[in-house]
Amino acid sequence: MSMQLEVNGKVLTFDAQPDMPLLWVLRDLLRMTGTKFGCGMALCGACTVHVDGQPVRACITQVSSVAGKKITTIEAMASDSVGKRVQAAWLELGVPQCGYCQPGQIMSAAALLKHNPQPKDADIDQAMSGNICRCGTYPRIRAAIKRAAGG
């Protein structure tokens, strides 16, 4: 069926089953591949996007449930003031290794900083433990979040 979504400030129209996860709408239908597939069960965080400013796992979010809401993906983070700071910190500290999980990490980190501009270690654990990095960049992720916070 024909559907509409507001993604990164643009209203996009496409055909999809209403129960199709947002992840596959973004990746396969809208061809926005910055949002990554990692598990399909909200276990790894690679698919994290913002829906009305809240971090959600796109892999278990039915597209029909986000109609009329504002969806923000990694592709728009460079034009977001917090997202931009997070991206800069990621580069300054050389966080990425393979980089595959990093869009999701950045989306989670940006959401954290929007709600908690000066997160403590425990806050970082809480907000980021849903995002797996198999390369093991966690120490630099932690440091980069603190840098982006200006701490």
**Chain residues that interact with another protein, rule: CB under 8 A:** 17, 20-21, 24, 27-29, 31-41, 43-44, 46, 73-75, 77-78, 87, 90-91, 94, 96-103, 106, 121, 124-125, 128-142
Pick the closer one to another protein by CB: 27 or 50: 27
In the complex, the smallest distance separating the C-beta of residue 118 from another protein, rounded to whole angstroms, is 18
In the complex, the smallest distance separating the C-beta of residue 95 from another protein, rounded to whole angstroms, is 8
Pick the closer one to another protein by CB: 52 or 92: 92
Pick the closer one to another protein by CB: 11 or 15: 15
Whole-number Cα distances in Å, 117 to 25, 96, 109, 128: 31, 22, 10, 15
Find where tokens 């997160």 sit.
119
